[in-house]
Amino acid sequence: MDENGSKESNKLKIEEEESDLKVEVWKYIFGFVEMAVIKCAIELKIGDTIESNGGSMTLSELSSSLNSSPLLLHRVLRFLVHRGIFKEEKATQSYSQTPMSRLLTTTGPNSLAPIHLLESSPAMVAPWHYLSACLKANDHENESQPFELAHGMDLWSYASANPSHNKLVNEAMACFARVVILPAVLQRCGEIFDGVGSLVDVGGGNGTCLSILVKACPWIKGINFDLPHVVSGSQEYEGVQHVGGNMFDSIPKADAAFIMEVLHDWDDEECIKILKNVKEAIPKKTGKVIIVEVVIDENEKISQLSDIRLMMDMIMMAHTIKGKERTNVEWANVLQKAGFSHYTITPTTSIQSVIQAFP
């Protein structure tokens, strides 16, 4: 190949690479579309309707059942079929469920829909528009958070003042416990509950998490501890006592404490304060705290799980008061300063790990 041919070949290669990069950037530009369309499908109950009608429906049947425009519904389904969320039989123009769509029904036992409805709600989307302003404004003395900039109050105050949003939060956290975390925790680390007579779930929400633990480990007497407005509307569970209070003041005494997806909501100083109160609530010689949280490994190879862990860290930045996902070193720092002598970290099949800390 002569010099001119080589230059032309290199030029074409550069143009192809640039074209591929533009496609990737387009995906980021329109990334919100997937969240919005999936939310639409959940709200319309497309998956639930198909499931309750024998697992397959034509476009005409589905649009009639949903009382929706067949032309618009077709376009939504085409988008979702392209992503493998539903399956289309072109010969009959019928649609059926897939394993993924079953995870997005509103009634399925493994549904992740409550988490999606929370994260895509207007209240949770609004703070993302303030992320850059938050980074510019923070001078470590007068810090502000995106959620507060969007709503004039923190997430917990907002939930307390808005019952509908509080319901979304509680349902999402219960879903997180039921579907994502507890199966991985119980399957991988179930033995950590052996010999635990009483267990206080710190920030346990509506008690779903603790009720699952107590059902799996019936020898445990459970204490579900959270803010009064959170536990006031909680249903009764066998073996679980609901207690309202503030974890920054004191925590009910028990053989062991369980904290799931709570400490990442707070900065190091507040985490240490919570953990010190936890340490006071458990026996000095035999007590332990079981923490279920993300542990970020900055040297980990890129994977879907590592990507989601980093996404979770961005969510903490947008939605909490100085919250963050922590590395192993950062966990060691807060646990040591809270007075715990040693700890262990066990990965699970989910994005979280199980941290056991001992006085």
Question: Which of 293, 298, 330, 342 does the annotation list as catalytic?
Answer: 293
Question: Which of 51, 148, 171, 325 does the annotation list as catalytic?
Answer: 325
Q: Kindly state whether residues 92 and 119 are assigned to the same domain.
A: no
Task: Judge whether 264 counts as a catalytic residue.
Answer: yes
Summarised one tens digit per residue, pLDDT across range 87-103 is: 999 888 899 999 999 99
Q: Kindly state whether residues 147 and 205 are assigned to the same domain.
A: yes
Token pair in block for residue 139: 């001078």
% helix, strand, coil for the chain, step of 5: 55, 15, 30
Closest CA to 57 of 45, 72, 46: 46
Contact 222, 241 (CB under 8 A): yes
Domain tally, the chain: 2
Q: Kindly state whether residues 102 and 129 are assigned to the same domain.
A: no
Domain that includes residue 120, residue range: 113-358
The residue with greater pLDDT, 140 or 33, is 33
Summarised one tens digit per residue, pLDDT across range 244-253 is: 999 999 999 9
Q: Kindly state whether residues 153 and 122 are assigned to the same domain.
A: yes
- Residue 37 predicted with pLDDT over 90: yes
Q: Kindly state whether residues 298 and 165 are assigned to the same domain.
A: yes
Q: Kindly state whether residues 155 and 264 are assigned to the same domain.
A: yes
Summarised one tens digit per residue, pLDDT across range 126-159 is: 999 998 888 876 655 556 789 999 999 988 889 8
Task: Dump the DSSP string for 294-332.
Answer: -EE-TTSPP-HHHHHHHHHHHHHHHHSSS---EEHHHHH
Which of 82, 108, 134 corresponds to the end of one domain?
108
Q: Kindly state whether residues 137 and 85 are assigned to the same domain.
A: no
Q: Kindly state whether residues 104 and 233 are assigned to the same domain.
A: no
Measured in Å, how far apart are the chain's first and last C-alpha atoms? 73
Q: Kindly state whether residues 63 and 192 are assigned to the same domain.
A: no
Mean of pLDDT values over 317-330:
89
Which of 75, 108, 141 corresponds to the end of one domain?
108
Q: How many CA atoms lie within 13 A of 99 on its CB side?
A: 0
Which residues lie closer than 8 Å to 199 by C-beta, 6 or more apart? Answer: 193, 210, 213, 214, 220, 221, 222, 223, 254, 255, 256, 257, 258
Which of 108, 136, 164 corresponds to the end of one domain?
108
Q: How far apart are CA 205 and CA 262, in angstroms?
A: 10
Burial of 289 (0-12, 13-18, 19+ CB in 10 A): buried
Contact 125, 87 (CB under 8 A): no
The reported pLDDT for the residue numbered 14 is: 66
Q: Kindly state whether residues 10 and 130 are assigned to the same domain.
A: no
The reported pLDDT for the residue numbered 2 is: 59
Question: Which of 151, 242, 264, 319 does the annotation list as catalytic?
Answer: 264
Token pair in block for residue 220: 């445990």
The reported pLDDT for the residue numbered 137 is: 67
Q: Kindly state whether residues 282 and 349 are assigned to the same domain.
A: yes
Burial of 240 (0-12, 13-18, 19+ CB in 10 A): buried
Q: Kindly state whether residues 21 and 60 are assigned to the same domain.
A: yes
- Residue 81 predicted with pLDDT over 90: yes
Contact 319, 155 (CB under 8 A): yes
The CATH number of residue 87's host domain is: 1.10.10.10
In this structure, of 139-143, 181-185, 254-258, the range with the lowest mean pLDDT score is 139-143
In which residue are the tokens 């499931």 written? 51
Task: Dump the DSSP string for 89-101.
Answer: ETTTTEEEE-HHH
Task: Tell me the β-bridge partners of 290.
Answer: 258, 356
